[in-house]
């Protein structure tokens, strides 16, 4: 096939790609006394959701795959999806990873650089749970899990002075890059909190993509620094999960 033919073949496909991105926090039983039970999805729910995705023809990809597609037209599966986790809880490794592997899925985890190996101490009112440590992060990377930055201290970026926000973005990128031995390209804004200035700072800090929380698909028209993610919680029923993906695919593609 000539290059011209290849382009003709690729272009319509590129324009049509609609990418859902899911956001989870913890796959676990909800411990009594948790202040934010919606940050949990039970292992049974997660297992059923991944089984549904497989049946519906979705194949999980990484941000690296998606960026290669947006940059240069690299091929994606017909129905790509990105599965993400915020904060980097240890249960992502002990509970979520085996379920991901069972279904042949990959995922991307956003780490709080200053709290690797500690607990979610940025939120002292919530139950404290262990976060992934450096060795666990490296082992997961070796098993195909992708990592991004969730800043150094999980600070709400729009409430910081611009210089401090930039320091959060740059320093976490450097620390995590050193930990993983590769450049960090993707950012998750803590609390989904961002504005125009945050986008500029994220770009200045060297991120190629960043994720927010918004119940929409992503298309080629979506700003890479405002990629939308669909939240999944313990209250997301199987019907709602399936309906969201169907509805967004057909009625809210852009
Ligand atoms: Zn977070």
Q: For tokens 């915020």, name the residue.
A: 86
Q: What is the dihedral of CA 237, 239, 240, 243, to 10 degrees?
A: 160
Mean predicted confidence (pLDDT) in 64-83: 95
Distance 248 CA to ligand 1 centre (A): 24
Ion ligand 1: protein residues whose beta carbon lies under 5 Å: 86-87
* 44-62 tens-digit pLDDT: 999 999 999 999 999 999 9
Q: Is-contact 84 218, C-beta < 8 A?
A: no
Q: Please give the distance, rounded to the nearest whole angstrom, from the Cα atom of residue 96 to the centre of ligand 1.
A: 17
Tokens of 79: 């129905």
DSSP string, 193-235: ---HHHHHHHHHTT-SEEE---S--B-TTS-GGGB--EE--TT
Q: How far is the CA of 16 from the centre of ligand 1 (A)?
A: 31
| Rounded CA separation 81/63 (Å) | 10
| Residue 25 Cα to ligand 1 middle (Å) | 8
In the chain, what are the domain boundaries? Answer: 3-249
Q: Once rounded to an integer, what is the mean pLDDT over residues 189-196?
A: 97
What's the gap in Å between 189 CA and the centre of ligand 1?
Answer: 8
15 vs 18, residue with greater confidence:
18
| CA of residue 78 to ligand 1 center, whole Å | 30
What class is the 3-249 domain?
alpha beta
Predicted structure pTM score = 0.93
């Amino acid at each position: 096939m000539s290059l011209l033919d290849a382009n003709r073949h690729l272009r319509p496909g590129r324009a049509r790609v609609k990418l859902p991105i899911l956001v989870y926090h913890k796959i676990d039983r909800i411990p009594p006394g948790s202040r934010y039970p919606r940050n949990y999805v039970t292992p049974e729910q997660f297992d059923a959701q991944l089984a549904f995705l497989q049946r519906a023809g979705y194949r999980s990809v990484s941000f690296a795959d998606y960026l290669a597609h947006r940059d240069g037209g690299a091929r994606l599966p017909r129905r790509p999806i990105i599965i993400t986790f915020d904060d980097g809880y240890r249960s992502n490794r002990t509970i979520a990873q085996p379920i991901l592997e069972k279904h042949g899925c990959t995922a991307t985890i956003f780490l709080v650089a200053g709290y690797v190996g500690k607990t979610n101490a940025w939120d002292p009112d919530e139950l404290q749970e262990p976060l992934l440590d450096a060795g666990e992060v490296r082992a997961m990377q070796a098993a195909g899990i992708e990592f991004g930055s969730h800043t150094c201290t999980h600070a709400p970026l729009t409430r910081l002075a611009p210089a401090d926000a930039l320091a959060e973005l740059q320093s976490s990128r450097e620390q995590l890059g050193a930990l993983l031995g590769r450049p960090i390209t993707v950012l998750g804004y803590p609390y989904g909190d961002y504005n125009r200035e945050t986008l500029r700072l994220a770009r200045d800090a060297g991120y190629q993509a960043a994720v927010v929380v918004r119940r929409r698909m992503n298309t080629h028209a979506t700003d890479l620094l405002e990629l939308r993610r669909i939240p999944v919680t313990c209250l997301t029923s199987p019907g709602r999960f399936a309906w969201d993906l169907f509805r967004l695919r057909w009625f809210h593609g852009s």
